[in-house]
C-alpha cells in the first residue's frame, strides 16, 4: 500500500519507503516524515521488493522483526537490486548484535533504536540522505576522473605517435642532408677527374696521374664516410698537425683541371705560416666549394686569389672580382639549398663550408672585395680536445 501526502511534491521531494508487517505501527513515522519527504509504505519484505521494481526510492527504513523475511535480510536484497538506495533499520535493543554485524557487512547504513525519538529520527534520516548524495557525487567524480584519465591516456598515445613521427622525420632530414652533401662532393671530384682526362696532353702524364690519384683518394674517403655514417657514426672529423699550405695547394692544383676554372688564373698568397692542427680533408672540401662559387661569380674568367695566414687562428681569404653578392640575398646564401645558379647548383656549397667551420670552431663570413667582387673569410680556431666529438651536427 502506498501513501502520498502531496502528489505534486513527489518529484521535488526525496522518497522514503517504510516497511513493517504491521502497517499501523508505521503511522507515527509516516506522520513525522510526510511534510518533508514523499513517503511510501509496504507491508512486509515481498511487498517492498515489488514496489521497488516500479518506484524510484532514495531510502528504505525497514523494521527488523518481520515474519518470513527479517529487516536485515530484506535490506541485503535491496542492496543487491538497487545498491544506490540508502538503507536504515528500526530495531529494539535486544537485536543489537545482529544490527552491528549488518552495519559492518555494509548491508545497513544505520539503525534506529525503538522507541525512537523524533529529533533523533529526523537527524539520522537527513544525515543518511546527505551520505547518499555524497556517495553519488563521489561516484560521479570517480567516473569523471576515469574519463579524464582515459582522455589523457589517448592524448598521451597521440603525443607518443607524434613524437615518433618527428624523430623519424629528423632522422630522415639528417640522412637526407648527409646524402646530399656526399653527392655534392662526389660530383666535385668526378668533374676534376673528367676535366683532367679531357685536357691533359701526354707530356703531362705524371701530373695527370697525380691529380687523378688525389681525387680518387678523396672518393675512397667519401665512400668510407658513407659506410661509417650508415653504421651510425657521426660526420668524420680527424684533426692532425699539418702544413696549412699543403691542402690549399692540392685544391688549387685540382681546380686547374675542373671545367669551371679553365680560363681563371688562381693565385696563392702566403702570409706567416706555422703547423696547424686541422682536418685537411674537411678543409679541402671547404676551399673547393668557396673556389667553385668564386669561379661561377667570375664567369670563368679573370683571377681568384687565396690568401693564407696563421696568427694563432688559421685565416683563409678567397678573393674574387666577380659579380658580388646583392645585399638582399647576403643572409640567404647560407641557407641549405639556396642557390642563384641557373644550372649545376644545389645550393649546398656554403652549408658544407659552415659545417666544416663548426667542426673546427671559428667562423666564416663574406665581404665586398674593394673594386667589385666578393671575399670569403674563413677563420679556424686551433684544435681543442674538448671540441672533439662535437662535430656530429
Ligand atoms: N663568391 C661569390 N660571389 C657571388 N655570389 C656567391 C658567391 N658565393 C656564393 N654566392 C651566392 O650564394 C649562393 C649559394 O652558394 P652555395 O655554394 O651554397 O650554393 P651554389 O653554389 O648555388 O650551389 P652548389 O654549391 O651546391 O653547387 C650562390 O648560388 C650564389 O648566389
Ligand atoms: Mg657553391
Q: What pLDDT digit, counting tens, does each position of 64-94 carry?
A: 999 999 999 999 999 999 999 999 999 887 7
CB of residue 279 inside a 6 A radius of ligand 1 = no
Site to substitute for ligand 1 among 261, 291, 350, 355, most atoms within 8 A of C-beta: 350
- Tally of structural domains, the chain: 2
Q: Give the residue, by CA position, lying nearest to ligand 1 atom 12.
A: 333
Q: Give the residue, by CA position, lying nearest to ligand 1 atom 5.
A: 325
CB of residue 256 inside a 6 A radius of ligand 1 = no
Contact 184, 346 (CB under 8 A): yes
State the ligand closest to the CA atom of 180.
1
Quote the ligand 2 centre to 291 CA distance (angstroms). Answer: 8
Around ion ligand 2, residues with a beta carbon closer than 5 Å are: 293, 349
Q: Which atom of ligand 1 is nearest to the CA of 323?
A: 4
CA dihedral 100, 102, 103, 106 (to 10 degrees): 160
CB of residue 374 inside a 6 A radius of ligand 1 = yes
CB of residue 260 inside a 6 A radius of ligand 1 = no
Contact 333, 374 (CB under 8 A): no
Across 128-142, 313-327, 341-355, 359-373, least confident range: 341-355
Domain presence at residue 324: yes
What CATH number should be reported for the domain holding residue 326?
3.30.565.10
Contact 279, 246 (CB under 8 A): no
* Confidence band for 202, pLDDT divided at 50, 70 and 90: low
Q: Are residues 254 and 112 in the same domain?
A: no
pTM (two decimals): 0.58
Is the model more confident about 230 or about 288? 288
Contact 125, 88 (CB under 8 A): yes
Q: Give the residue, by CA position, lying nearest to ligand 1 atom 20.
A: 347
Last residue of one domain, picked from the residues 84, 116, 148: 116
pLDDT at residue 119 is higher than 80: yes
Domain presence at residue 201: no
Model pLDDT, residue 216: 86
State the ligand closest to the CA atom of 342.
1
Grouping H, G, I as helix, E, B as strand and the rest as coil, residue 230 is: helix
Model pLDDT, residue 366: 97
On the question of a cis peptide bond just before residue 19, with omega within 30 degrees of 0, the verdict is no
Q: Are residues 242 and 108 in the same domain?
A: no
Quote the ligand 2 centre to 36 CA distance (angstroms). Answer: 91
Model pLDDT, residue 49: 96
Last residue of one domain, picked from the residues 116, 134, 154: 116
pLDDT at residue 10 is higher than 60: no
pLDDT at residue 386 is higher than 80: no
Domain presence at residue 63: yes
Quote the ligand 1 centre to 295 CA distance (angstroms). Answer: 10
Domain presence at residue 229: no
Q: What is the DSSP string of 145-200?
A: HHHHHHHHHHHHHHHHHHHHHHHHHHHHHHHHHHHHHHHHHHHHHHHHHHHHHHH-
Task: Give the distance, in angstroms, between the CA of residue 69 and the centroid of all CA atoms in the same chain.
Answer: 63
Strands 313-320 and 276-278: unpaired
pLDDT at residue 351 is higher than 50: yes
Q: Are residues 383 and 243 in the same domain?
A: yes
Residue 156: burial class (beta carbons within 10 Å; 0-12, 13-18, 19+): exposed
Q: Which atom of ligand 1 is nearest to the CA of 373?
A: 3
Last residue of one domain, picked from the residues 100, 116, 132: 116
User: Tens digits of per-residue pLDDT, 359-384?
Assistant: 899 999 999 999 999 999 999 998 87
What is the rounded distance in angstroms from the CA atom of residue 278 to the CA atom of residue 361?
10
Domain presence at residue 48: yes
The distance between the two most distant Cα atoms of the chain, rounded to a whole number of Å, is 134
CB of residue 339 inside a 6 A radius of ligand 1 = yes
Residue ranges making up the domain that contains 39: 7-116
Domain presence at residue 174: no
Q: Are residues 241 and 110 in the same domain?
A: no
pLDDT at residue 168 is higher than 90: no
CB of residue 99 inside a 6 A radius of ligand 1 = no
CB of residue 320 inside a 6 A radius of ligand 1 = yes
Residue 221: burial class (beta carbons within 10 Å; 0-12, 13-18, 19+): middle
User: Tens digits of per-residue pLDDT, 230-251?
Assistant: 776 666 788 999 999 999 999 9
* Confidence band for 176, pLDDT divided at 50, 70 and 90: confident
Is the model more confident about 32 or about 224? 32
Domain presence at residue 194: no
Q: Which three cell numbers stand for residue 2?
A: 502506498
- CA distances (Å), origin 82, targets 52, 86, 107, 273: 8, 9, 12, 96
Domain presence at residue 44: yes
What CATH number should be reported for the domain holding residue 59?
3.40.50.2300
Amino acid at each position: 500500500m502506498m501513501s502520498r501526502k502531496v502528489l505534486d511534491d513527489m518529484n521535488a521531494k526525496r522518497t522514503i519507503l517504510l516497511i513493517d508487517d504491521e502497517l499501523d505501527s508505521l503511522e507515527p513515522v509516516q506522520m513525522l516524515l510526510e511534510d518533508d519527504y514523499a513517503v511510501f509504505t509496504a507491508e512486509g519484505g515481498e511487498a517492498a521488493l515489488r514496489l521497488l521494481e516500479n518506484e524510484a526510492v532514495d531510502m528504505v527504513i525497514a523494521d527488523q522483526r518481520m515474519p518470513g523475511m527479517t529487516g536485515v535480510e530484506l535490506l541485503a536484497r535491496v542492496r543487491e537490486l538497487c545498491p544506490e538506495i540508502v538503507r536504515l533499520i528500526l530495531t529494539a535493543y535486544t537485536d543489537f548484535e545482529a544490527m552491528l554485524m549488518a552495519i559492518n557487512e555494509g548491508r545497513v547504513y544505520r539503525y534506529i533504536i525503538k522507541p525512537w525519538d523524533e529529533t533523533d529520527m529526523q537527524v539520522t534520516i537527513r544525515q543518511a540522505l546527505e551520505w547518499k548524495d555524497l556517495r553519488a557525487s563521489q561516484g560521479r567524480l570517480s567516473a569523471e576522473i576515469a574519463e579524464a584519465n582515459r582522455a589523457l591516456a589517448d592524448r598521451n598515445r597521440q603525443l607518443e605517435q607524434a613524437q615518433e613521427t618527428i624523430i623519424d622525420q629528423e632522422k630522415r632530414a639528417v640522412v637526407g642532408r648527409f646524402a646530399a652533401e656526399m653527392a655534392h662532393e662526389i660530383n666535385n671530384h668526378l668533374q676534376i677527374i673528367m676535366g683532367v682526362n679531357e685536357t691533359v696532353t701526354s707530356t703531362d702524364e705524371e701530373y695527370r696521374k697525380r691529380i687523378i690519384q688525389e681525387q680518387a683518394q678523396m672518393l675512397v674517403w667519401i665512400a668510407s664516410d658513407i659506410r661509417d655514417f650508415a653504421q651510425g657514426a657521426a660526420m668524420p672529423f680527424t684533426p692532425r698537425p699539418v702544413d696549412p699550405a699543403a691542402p690549399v695547394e692540392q685544391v688549387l692544383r685540382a681546380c686547374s683541371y675542373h671545367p669551371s676554372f679553365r680560363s681563371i688564373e688562381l693565385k696563392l698568397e702566403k702570409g706567416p705560416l706555422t703547423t696547424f692542427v686541422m682536418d685537411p680533408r674537411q678543409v679541402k672540401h671547404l676551399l673547393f666549394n668557396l673556389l667553385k662559387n668564386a669561379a661561377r661569380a667570375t664567369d670563368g674568367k679573370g683571377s681568384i686569389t687565396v690568401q693564407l695566414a696563421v696568427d694563432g687562428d688559421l685565416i683563409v681569404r678567397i678573393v674574387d672580382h666577380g659579380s658580388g653578392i646583392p645585399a638582399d640575398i647576403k643572409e640567404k646564401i647560407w641557407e641549405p639549398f639556396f642557390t642563384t645558379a641557373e644550372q649545376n647548383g644545389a645550393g649546398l656549397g656554403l652549408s658544407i663550408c659552415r659545417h666544416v667551420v663548426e667542426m673546427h670552431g671559428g667562423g666564416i663570413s663574406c665581404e665586398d672585395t674593394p673594386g667589385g667582387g666578393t671575399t670569403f673569410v674563413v677563420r679556424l680556431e686551433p684544435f681543442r680536445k674538448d671540441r672533439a666529438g662535437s662535430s656530429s651536427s
